[in-house]
Amino acid sequence: MLDTSARLLRLLSLLQTPRAWPGSELAERLGVSGRTVRNDVERLRELGYPVDAARGSTGGYRLGAGAAMPPLLLDDEEAVAVTLALRTAAQGAVPGTEETSLRALAKLEQVLPSRLRRRVRTLQAYTLAVPDDRPAPTLSADVLTTLVSACRDRERLRFDYLDHTGSATRRVVEPYRAVNWGRRWYLVAWDVEREDWRTFRVDRIQPRTPTGPRFTPREPPGGDAAAYVARGVSAAAWRHHARVTVHAPAAAVAERINPAVGTVEALDTDTCVLITGADTLQTLATYLGMLDFDFEVTEPAELLTHLRRLADRYARSTPPADTRDPA
């Protein structure tokens, strides 16, 4: 049988999993009586751990949220994962959290067993990240927390917003999700005044308090907020847009198209429309060639001209096929 201290740590480790534990199951796991389990639960409560208890067939013991953050027990893999995540955050993955991430990282590395510290330092020494070619936008962790809290609580949000031209507007929205793409964060929200979904860069948002009334959540745009951001942000940056009829089922084309590259709309079982774009006509033509399906370009006219020029070039580069009978 485990001694009292070891048993308490084992009990705490079990309670930190997100489920309710019947007393009988805890007693079996720990090899003790139900009375001992009840006594150990009281000891944890005296140490500041909020252990909730519920009666009934679906009841049991569960670790609740307290006024202060109690110590956590992490297994080896969890400790390594948290350490690496904190190190990534300290390097600016979420601008505005570098200092707090470093403090938490220092505390965690101080108590890591030597075997885990060696693993973490090896990963640190022999892994590299390519620096971003553009500076990360300044992002306030407090602002991000305010936005996601409003999403969680389903409360209308008022904020001042700077668009891409630097013009300031005031918005009233029903926030749905905060989406991370690369080193930028975006808020997907229903714009109350414009009566439509909109995407806002979080680093351009200045929330106003207090938040507004609660709202009934709507279905996310296209059923996927992340794909909505990818499509919207990419399309806004495209210099050339194209509408292409593809002679293939929509499902087959969609398998080859990332949401950030374009959208696919079925016309019938064997034909679909691809709406896509790119910064250059050359890139756009390359995307279409990689589809490996027959297609017809509807617009723009300059893309048609470029494809005809490519077709002529490819024709000149290929010698005529030998149609003579090999016999």
| pLDDT bucket at 215, cuts 50 / 70 / 90 | very high
Element (H, E) at 290: helix 281-291
171-194 pLDDT, tens per residue?
999 999 999 876 788 999 999 999
Q: What's residue 182's pLDDT?
A: 67
Report the share of the chain in percent with pLDDT over 70.
87
Q: What's residue 91's pLDDT?
A: 65
DSSP 206-217: EEESS---B-PP
Q: What are phi and psi of 243, to 5 degrees?
A: -120, 120
User: Pick from 80, 71, 69, 70: which is nearest to 113 by CA?
Assistant: 80
117-159 pLDDT, tens per residue?
888 888 877 777 766 656 666 777 788 889 999 999 999 999 9
Q: Is the peptide bond before 300 cis (omega within 30 degrees of 0)?
A: yes
Q: Cα(first)–Cα(last) distance of the chain, in Å?
A: 89
User: Pick from 223, 201, 100, 95: which is nearest to 147 by CA?
Assistant: 201
144-148, 202-206, 236-240, 308-312: least confident range: 236-240
CA 192 to CA 190: how far, in whole Å? 6
pLDDT at 95 over 80: no
Domains and CATH numbers, the chain: 4-63 (1.10.10.10), 76-125 (no CATH), 141-223 (2.30.30), 238-316 (3.30.70)
Q: Tokens 């079990």 identify what position? A: 14
| pLDDT bucket at 246, cuts 50 / 70 / 90 | very high
42-51, 52-61, 239-248: least confident range: 52-61
Q: What's residue 268's pLDDT?
A: 92
Q: Which residues contact 204 (CB under 8 A, 6 or more apart)?
A: 161, 162, 163
Neighbours of 28 (CB within 10 A): 12
pLDDT at 70 over 90: no
76-80, 156-160, 292-296: least confident range: 76-80
Q: Which amino acid appears at position 247 of this protein?
A: H
Q: What are phi and psi of 75, to 5 degrees?
A: -80, 180
Task: Tell me the mean pLDDT in the region 161-169.
Answer: 85
Q: Which amino acid appears at position 286 of this protein?
A: T
| pLDDT bucket at 271, cuts 50 / 70 / 90 | very high
39-43, 204-208, 300-304, 321-325: least confident range: 321-325
Q: CB–CB of 141/97 below 8 Å?
A: yes
Q: What's residue 6's pLDDT?
A: 79
